[in-house]
Structure 1
Amino acid sequence: MTKSTTFHDLCSTIQTIRETRGSNAKISTCASYLSKLSDDELSLASRFIGEGAFENVSGKRASVGSRTSGLAAADFCEIDYDHVFKPCRTATGSSSETIEKLMFATPGARRKREPRPWSLPEVEQVFENLFDVSGRADKQQILLNAWREMTPVEIKYFIRMLGQGSLRIGFETRSLVSAIAKAFDHDSETVRYAHMITGSTGKTALLAKKNRLDEATFKLFHPLSFMLASPIESRALETLNGYICEEKFDGMRCQLHAEGNQVKLFSRDLNDITTSFPDILSDFREKQLPPTVLDGEICVFKENTIQPFQLLQKRMGVKKPGKKILEKYPVIFIAYDLLYNGRQPIFDETLNERRAQLRDISETYNIPMTLQFPVDDREHLQELFDEALSHGNEGLMLKKEDSTYEYGQRRKSWLKVKKPGGTFDTVMMYAHAGSGKRGGTYSDFTLGISVKDDERYEEEFIPIGKAYGGYTDEELKRMNKKIKELTVEKYGPTLGLLPQLVIEIEFDDVQVNKRTKAGYTLRLPRFKAIRWDLGPDDVDTLKDVERYYQQKIDAERTDQSENPSFIRPSLTSQ
């Protein structure tokens, strides 16, 4: 008979996974825990680790933002939100970690908390209660009632589960699938396939435990894990044999499910974004498609031109855009793959086979579809790359013609060839302790830009992004030595630094983010160089960031009338 588990047991296991070095060791720790659970506990534990408070396919969200939980925590800990909580959060780089530390350290919080053993179903009910209420005050009251009976580590992971994303423990979905396979003695690929078509880690774990993985079935309107591309520079390509080429659009990845009047759109993180794009919804409802799943891209398309991603941001996250936004930022869905056709999934068929079926659907139902081009040689590849950039697109996608749809994987079947968006010289403001194989070192860094001559700010530097890659082991050792000399404050695993170490950072793009002090964040930032030769006076400014952002919007883009990157059958057939 299995021993009942508690939420504290689960959170302790999650914390152990975070502190464990090496993927195999992390998988073994998780597998050992999962193998001892009852059916109901297994389903909930797998969901909480892999998906969060709710199944991705449920469409539910607790809608508890960092400000809501932060204000509740400040009240609970009897501290000032603006003067104490926010600086602590800036220092740690994590709202949930800040709350964990405050719950442990503040006398007010210690006095109020009387932890008790929570069962997983009880925690699930708290998540449901948060989903059922809409007001901030009501949500905060539910949080406070739960936190009174939880330990700090439970509170931290409770908050992270509400975020419906990564628990940030160096253990993503792929590792969880491997842990489920190990726990119940199955092949990882078989478990991964079941997870892909069910869209649920909880259901997958139960099927694995009961040796019923072959019963996993795909349901329309439940998102599938996306196939991912590996970044590569054109000069690093060993061969072009077997690859076909298409342009990489400056848009938002989207999976479209349709059957007749019913249409749903899902983002790459498997969130339902249907209400944000009523124009696409209306267009596809009129098409009256048979059961279909398309993989593609949403782009702002105006005057026969794909517009900058920055303009698409005006639509993203807007649940019910008004007429003015719809007219100013019209969007289009461009398909480049077909995953479900008629009554059966086709992701096990080759790309060429899937594209042939997509072409038939595109012509029959007037669906925009990417054009693909054979690549003769590297000179031809460069010509295609330059054409993509002139269209305002990010670069190229190279896809193996005989590849199946490798859902949730990042291998070499799809390659993205992109031009770096740009670089800024930034200053290191905070260093965060690493986990896993980087445990014992500071390997995650908050980087800032200068605002000392900016009348809008009183500080000298403000954060612009976090980066944790792009340096060698030797460079990391040298940085850690320098960090010890620059440390002026310590907040648990985070160090506050004198702003002296300059990092040249490379990024894909600049995005508006009103939740940050700068008002912007960098898309996919990574180290380009550690500028030992520069000092804080050489750091780029917020005005440089704003200038770069505006230049991207103002850049000229060639329209799609000549050498188009996609086809629209409704126009070509006229």
Structure 2
Amino acid sequence: MLLAEVVATVSVVGATRSRLAKSDALAGLLRELQPDEIPIAIGLLTANPRQGRVGVGWRGVFSLDAEHANTPTLTLSDVDEAFDALAAHGGPGSAAERSATLRDLAERATPQEWDFLSRVILGELRTGALEGVLLEAIARAADRPADAVRRAAMLSGDLGETAVVALTASAQALEAIGLVVGRPVLPMLAGTASSVAAAIAEAGESSVEYKLDGARIQVHRDGADVHVFTRSLADITHRVPEIVEAARALPVDRAILDGETLSLDEDGGPRPFQDTMARFGSETAAAIALRPWFFDILHLDGRDLIDEPLSVRRALLSAIAGESVMPGIVTDDPERAEEFSREALAAGHEGVMVKGVGAPYAAGRRGKSWLKVKPVLTYDLVVLAVEWGSGRRTGQLSNLHLGARDPEGEFGEPGGFVMVGKTFKGLTDATLRWQTEHFPTIETHRSAYAVHVRPITVVEIAIDGVQRSSRYPGGVALRFARVKGYRSDKRPDEADTIQSLRALLRG
């Protein structure tokens, strides 16, 4: 298939707000693909090529001087081969080789194709073709139940592989996709509740657990072989030797564990989130050690557990993980749950998670079975621009313009971001220095007072609520917003939505 056909479909998808129309357009494209083209197309449509990151950044793309083709000739296989070559370049002289490969690809692409490929390479493809819509399109194209496709994608952790099976194999083959120790699973996600009492009322009898300000981990053990994955399914095993050793010490042979990790200070209290993320970004073990806390188990010695109720999973987890189990209680009493929440806060943690004990593990889903309760509302937003500071902040980038994700384009471009407020509160001197260095590297243009940037930097913002506002297109503005920290572990397509903020108005 020609790349131009994918580009044309993406244009159709981006031009409509109708979820059904998006799904129809994508399904039509998928039906025309050859089997070996399916994972390539899925990678392009999700801006997640099967090669992963290909070693090309913003400067490499936009500093390229190339004369584009007049007519489309590039096939999906051509693009895949070029991405293979880009990913393979390494060592001395690799920058020049990578630049030459990139220039060759750019010269073979039409201007429209190169615009598309540039956004894929940089992970900025915003068309409204979110994975949920693409899952529906795969099911429609393959004439398979949407739930079966969704479950296979969650358990394989690979949408491209799932699409290949759904479109080319039998229904039984799709249903046979299950847990594999060593292959990461999309993590179960949590909703938000306004209070512990509200969460208990929603979930019923629940496991009420500490909510750590740490980083999500998924640990797979197969004998002495251990792999540790992040919430985005990146393999960080070589960066966290202490978690590997903790997993090897468990009295099991094969297991998949879900948990969180963070570093502790000398008094046993939690260090700031940035300390934990600094370890995730380091290629070598550092002086700051990480400790794992496990709160779920998905597989144990040949037994898949995701369809078992949480009460069963927690009992099995407690039997093998001992002091590494996330502290928690089981109760349906709002007062007891609230008391435990106060204990979590006193220990320096963010709040609590309230999880219905009868619920299975819904990989990759955000529902009402898991609810997070924190005394201050926090949202993951995206930085759209940064204003220059004044006074003691003169010469530093300070005031952040914050955007919430708009997946369906209700208030603008589908898959884009809607501005919801500004803040300069909560910024440390170190963060100000980092901002001033970082944001010019992703600058798109400047106005008289601000540096406008590509919407790729996720920041966790604490707020006291929202208020109605005619100033911003989404109709809401943040109240008393302050920065908690940057979330280098999250992609912009994982930011919170404008709809979730607008829901606070009704609250």
TM-score by length of 2: 0.77
SS at match of 2:278: coil
When the two chains are superposed, the root-mean-square deviation of aligned CA atoms in Å is 3.9
SS of the aligned residue for 2:384 comes to strand
Where does residue 522 of structure 1 map in the other structure?
459
Q: Closer, same or farther in 2 for the Cα pair 1:458/1:189, shift >3 Å?
A: closer
Paired position in structure 1 for 2:4: 8
CA distance in 2, matches of 1:259, 1:464: 46
Q: Structure 2 unaligned runs (5+)?
A: 441-450, 472-477, 486-507
1:42–1:265 distance in 2 versus 1, CA, 3 Å? same
Does 1:374 find its partner at 2:338? Answer: no
SS, match of residue 254 in structure 2: strand
Aligned to 1:183: 141
Q: CA deviation at 1:505?
A: 6.1
Equivalence map 1:159-170=2 (5 Å)? 159-163=118-122, 167-170=125-128
1:129 aligns with one of 73, 79, 85: 85
- Specify the alignment match of 1:18 in structure 2: 14
Quick one: structure 1 residues 494 and 393, their matched pair in 2 at CA, closer, same or farther if it must change by over 3 Å? closer
Maintained 8 Å contact 1:47/1:200: no
Structure 2 CA distance for partners of 1:8 and 1:36, relative to 1, 3 Å? same
Aligned to 2:54: 62
- Give the counterpart letter for 1:362 in structure 2: A
After TM superposition, the structure 1 = structure 2 runs for residues 126-275 of structure 1, keeping only pairs within 5 Å, are 126-134=82-90, 135-163=94-122, 167-209=125-167, 210-211=169-170, 212-234=173-195, 236-237=198-199, 238-239=201-202, 241-275=204-238
* 3-state SS of 1:347 partner: coil
Distance 1:15 1:506, change over 3 A: farther
Whole-angstrom CA distance in 1 between matches of 2:426 and 2:141? 39
2:351 counterpart of 1:395 = yes
Q: Structure 1 residues 203 and 51, CA, compared in 2 at 3 Å: closer, same or farther?
A: farther
The structural deviation recorded for 1:189 is 0.9
Q: How far apart are the structure 1 equivalents of 2:260 and 2:47?
A: 24
1:337 maps to what in 2?
Answer: 296
| 1:453 Cα offset (Å) | 2.6
> Do the aligned partners of 1:261 and 1:288 also contact (CA within 8 Å) in 2?
no
Q: Which residue of 2 aligns with 1:561?
A: none
Name the counterpart of 1:453: 391
Q: Which residue of 2 aligns with 1:410?
A: 366
- SS in structure 2 opposite 1:305? coil
Cα distance between partner residues in 2 of 1:112 and 1:183: 33
Q: Secondary structure of 1:306's partner?
A: coil
What residue number does 2:339 align with?
Answer: 383
Instruction: Tell me if 1:284 matches 2:247.
Output: yes
What's the CA shift for 1:257?
Answer: 0.7
Aligned to 1:316: 280
Contact 1:420-1:506 within 8 A present in 2 as well:
no
Gaps of 5+ in 1: 77-108, 424-443, 481-492, 496-500, 534-539, 550-574
Hey, what's the Cα distance between the residues in 1 that align with 2:332 and 2:215?
29
Q: What's the counterpart of residue 488 of structure 2?
A: none
Specify the code of the residue in structure 1 equivalent to 2:328. Q
Q: Are the equivalent residues in 1 in contact too, given 2:149–2:162 (CA < 8 A)? A: yes
Q: Deviations over 1:445-464 (max 9, x none)?
A: 835455033465188x7545
Q: Amino acid of the residue matched to residue 11 of structure 1? A: V
Deviation at 1:336, TM superposition (A): 0.4
In the alignment, is the contact (CA less than 8 A) between 2:216 and 2:261 conserved in 1?
A: yes
Other structure's SS at 1:516 match: helix
How far apart are 1:287 and its partner, in Å? 4.7
Cα drift, residue 118 of structure 1 = 1.3
Partners of 1:457 and 1:410 lie apart in 2 by 42
CA distance in 2, matches of 1:293, 1:346: 10
Separation in structure 1 between the aligned mates of residue 420 and residue 157 of structure 2, nearest angstrom: 43
Q: Give the corresponding residue for 1:433.
A: none
User: Equivalents in 2 of 1:319, 1:156: separation in Å?
Assistant: 33
Distance 2:241 2:366 in 1: 31
Deviations 1:36-65 (A, max 9, x none): 22212223212332462116xxxx532322
CA shift, 1:467, in A, is 3.2
Deviations 1:308-344 (Å, cap 9, x if unpaired)?
Answer: 21221221221224xxxx22x2111110000111124
Report if aligned partners of 2:39, 2:164 keep a CA contact under 8 Å in 1. yes
Give the number of equivalent residue pairs.
445
Q: Distance in 2 between matches of 1:451 and 1:373?
A: 47
Q: What is the CA–CA distance in structure 1 between the aligned matches of 2:420 and 2:72, rounded to whole Å?
A: 47
> How far off is 1:300 after superposition?
0.7
CA contact (8 A) 1:265 1:273 kept: yes
| TM superposition shift of 1:277 | 1.3
The TM-score with structure 1 as length reference comes to 0.68
Which of these two proteins has the greater Rg computed from alpha carbons?
1
Checking the alignment, whether the CA contact within 8 Å between 2:19 and 2:133 is kept in structure 1 is: yes
SS at match of 1:337: strand
Deviating more after overlay: 129-138 vs 113-122? 113-122
Aligned AA for 1:358? L
Question: 2:490 maps to what in 1?
Answer: none
AA matched with 1:154 = E
Contact 2:404–2:420 at 8 Å: present in 1 too?
A: no
Deviations 1:183-209 (A, max 9, x none): 111111111122222222222112212
